[in-house]
Chain A
Amino acid sequence: MFRQIKNLSKLQLCNLYGMNTFRFTKDKQVKRKTKILMVIWIIIIFMLISYVSGLTYGYIIMGLEEMSLAYLIGISSMIMLFLGIFKAGSVIFNKNGYDILCSLPVSQTAIVVSRFVRMYVENLLLALIVMIPGMIVYACLMKPDVIFYLAGIIVLIFLPFAPVTIATFIGAIITAISSRMKHKSLVEAGLSILLVLAVLIPTSRVSGLEGQITPEMIKELSGQALSILKKIYPPAIWMTNAMRTGELLPCLGCIFGFLVLFAIMIWVVSANFHFICQSLYGSVAKHDYQIENMKKDSVLIAMYKRELKRYLSSSVYVANTIMGPIMAVIFSGTLLFMGTDSIEQVLPVSIHIENLIPFLVAGIFCIMTTTSTSISMEGKEWWIVKSLPVTTKNILDGKILLNLSLILPFYLVAEVLLIVALKPAVLQMVWLLVIPPVIILFACVFGITMNLKFPLFNWESEVTVVKQSFSAMIGGLGGFFMAIVCAVPVALVPEEYLGLTMVAVCILVLVITVLLYRKNNGVNLQEI
């Protein structure tokens, strides 16, 4: 059994982040692109390390050393948990190679464990990047006992283990439920989103504070965050205490508990592995079609319909890209009930938040666009559109249209909520209505630009494209960053220049969008 797990895990891990392809490919273009991506990843990791180090330093200087470790453990665990829920089902029950694996003399348990190992290793890397800089800063400033280092090693090893086990368990249950349904992908996406929202919304209730931000206020907010963490994820506190005070027992007990949960999860998933896979991959063939009532569509509509079918066929694609629009509606709804005061109070400078609401909403809408991965999602079927008599514009317009049509109903609901909540003047209402679509349009076009630049077709699982590809990260967040950048001048200019600034921002974003759109449409797809 261990030999099987070892061999299968090696198979799972050998091409992690495309390293095996990079090692053996003779295609210089692939090598060059991978090197560029590596440099960008190093910069991002360096930024993350700087942020973590700075944050830990700040907490310790303010006397919040407990919070510094708890925050790092808690936040990394939450990220691993939520991202894990979205992708666990796709990784554990990955279709790729399923037939070959089933024909090999390996147990189902070995298959499940090897796929779990892959998720664990991916998350361990994240844990190391987040925790080690924080621990180094803590060790330099606090000069802790040797127990800190001992407990630190245990925490590092088991930090991803707990959230990945929980995420795998939940992801497997969601996949098992959805596998019995007719619209498997939509049910799976819906359940994942509901679950994440069910945890996120109650935990985001940090009460508002009056006046400007002071160190005392940060301490108070930190205290609230710590008490929330205690309620929703006590292992973070036990792990923190193990490192800070050497109180190992609760931490070890928690690790033992997760080992038991892991064993149960592996046992349950292994026992149902074939059944779930067969339910997932088996299609009901009615075999009763009769040719009737055909309809002709334009090329653009044909492309759009195909994109929509592609989108709805993938739960991980839906779950990851629909969160932004859902969060935008929730944000607008929150403003309706809470007003803008609570946001203004926690901002470090005194500004009229009403002027920034259009940018905030636009930014939230743009978290993960479908366009940033829509070319990669073509995968091995990319040859079809390349061999058809359609222009690059036709193909890309279909992808942009899909993204816009997905956002449209959420945009309409959010706008109604915002107008009711803010009761804006005529001009403010114009900005509220115009700015989000302008930035959303930019985000969709920018997503295409990034995906054309960094396409990924030889993927084994959709998770690789939607959650791990470079274009998903950069392209998916382009609109969010654009919203922030545009909000800065609006926040800084005097009130009398506000209208002019808004017009300038809109024109600038539209010009950039048009330039990118034209550049995208001029791309020769043969080279992609």
Chain B
Amino acid sequence: MLTINQLTKHYKGSNKGVTNISLKIEPGDIYAFIGHNGAGKTTTLKCIAGIHGFDAGEILIDGISIRENPIAAKEKFAYIPDNPDLYEYLTGIQYLNFIADVFGVSVGHREKRIEKYAGLFEITPSLGDLISSYSHGMKQKLAIISALVHEPKLLLLDEPFVGLDPKAAVILKDIMRETCKNGGAIFFSTHVLDVAEKLCNKVAIVKDGTLVTSGNMEEIVKEGRSLESIFMEVVDNV
């Protein structure tokens, strides 16, 4: 579903960025991407999402290169950033309609999906209000609904649980599992290692822009240890 080969991206005039990152996310994977602040998680996600260009390497989404054919590649995924800066001058429903129009979602499908997810996240009554009146958590919920409105094969989520109330966090985890059960894949960054350990079947740890370890969760977290202790050991020793 998502193949990252030798991804290298450095910001001009700065040492920050990522170097030689390679990952493979298969259909059905819930893949956690963890690392300390500034490790390169958001940079990697933005490169995959086509927001940043990159210096070297290749990113294929469902076999389509984000560099060579960005439009076709972007049709396959949805991206939610760590800080949901949405169009505050639109109402929630206008924003969802805008995203649905861009992805060419039919009226029937968008109605059904918006009804379903807005109902689950309990923000249907607020969809007629301006996004500027939303709390951080409501914006996050709206961003999640907008990502689901076109049923993408791949979800790219940057810190998706930040700002969500406990109930919404549980609902999002259920949606993530359901998406993967239906053949989709999820690649998300998080600092909540507990969630990553319980929810994900695969994990990658990044430090200072390079991949430290990656693979199946059960192979990395073994012998009764927690992901937290593995993470601390890996980032301290490498």
Which residues on A are within 8 Å of B, measured CB to CB?
25-29, 31, 281-291, 294-299, 301-302, 305-306, 309-310, 312-313, 380-381, 383-384, 386-391, 524, 526-527
Contact = CB atoms under 8 A, between A and B. Distances in A.
23 contacts: A27-B12, A287-B125, A289-B93, A289-B129, A291-B93, A291-B114, A291-B118, A294-B110, A295-B97, A298-B101, A299-B101, A299-B102, A302-B98, A313-B89, A381-B86, A383-B81, A384-B86, A387-B51, A389-B73, A389-B103, A390-B71, A524-B53, A527-B53
A284 B94 CA distance: 16
B128 A27 contact: no
Nearest to B94: A309
Nearest to A287: B125
Nearest to B72: A389
A31 B13 contact: yes
Interface string B102-126: 1111110011001100100000111
Contacts of B197: none
Contacts of A386: 49-51
Contacts of A285: 126, 129-130, 133
B74 A387 contact: yes
A387 B50 contact: yes
Given A286-B128, A387-B50, 8 more contacts: A283-B129, A287-B129, A288-B128, A295-B97, A305-B94, A312-B89, A383-B81, A391-B71
Contacts of A26: 13-14
Given A286-B129, A381-B85, A291 B111 contact: yes
B125 A288 contact: yes
Nearest to B89: A313
A383 B51 CA distance: 6
Contacts of A289: 91-93, 124-129
Contacts of B89: 309-310, 312-313
Interface in B1-51: 11-14, 46, 49-51
Nearest to B105: A296
Contacts of B14: 26-27
A49 to B, nearest CB: 34
Contacts of B106: 296
10 tightest CB-CB pairs across the interface, nearest first?
A: A289-B128, A283-B133, A313-B89, A302-B101, A389-B74, A28-B13, A526-B53, A285-B129, A289-B127, A285-B133
Contacts of B132: 281, 283
A350 B212 CA distance: 79
Contact of A295 (B81, B107, B125): B107
Contacts of B133: 282-285
B130 A283 contact: yes
Contacts of A282: 133
Contacts of B105: 296
B231 interface: no
Contact of A526 (B13, B52, B128): B52
B52 to A, nearest CB: 6
Contacts of A28: 12-13
**Looking at chain B, what size class is its interface with the partner chain?**
35 or more
A291 B127 contact: yes
Contacts of A391: 71
B53 A388 contact: no
A384 B99 CA distance: 9
A298 B104 CA distance: 8
A290 B13 CA distance: 50
A103 B106 CA distance: 46
A283 to B, nearest CB: 3
A254 B100 CA distance: 60
B187 interface: no
A297 B71 CA distance: 18
B126 A296 contact: no
Contacts of A29: 12-13
Contact of A306 (B75, B90, B104): B90
Contacts of B49: 386-387
B42 to A, nearest CB: 11
A307 to B, nearest CB: 11
B192 to A, nearest CB: 23
A3 B126 CA distance: 43
B31 to A, nearest CB: 19
B79 interface: yes
Given A289-B93, A306-B90, A383 B85 contact: yes
Contact of B90 (A295, A296, A309): A309
A55 to B, nearest CB: 43
Given A302-B102, A389-B72, A380 B85 contact: yes
Contacts of B125: 287-290
B126 A287 contact: yes
A29 B85 CA distance: 25
Given A291-B111, A383-B81, A389 B12 contact: no
A391 B75 CA distance: 12
A54 to B, nearest CB: 42
A298 B87 CA distance: 19
B111 to A, nearest CB: 5
Contacts of A313: 88-89
Nearest to B133: A283
Contacts of A291: 93, 111, 114-115, 118, 124, 127
B51 A305 contact: no
Nearest to B52: A526
A384 B52 CA distance: 12
Contacts of B53: 524, 526-527
A309 B89 CA distance: 6
A301 B102 CA distance: 10
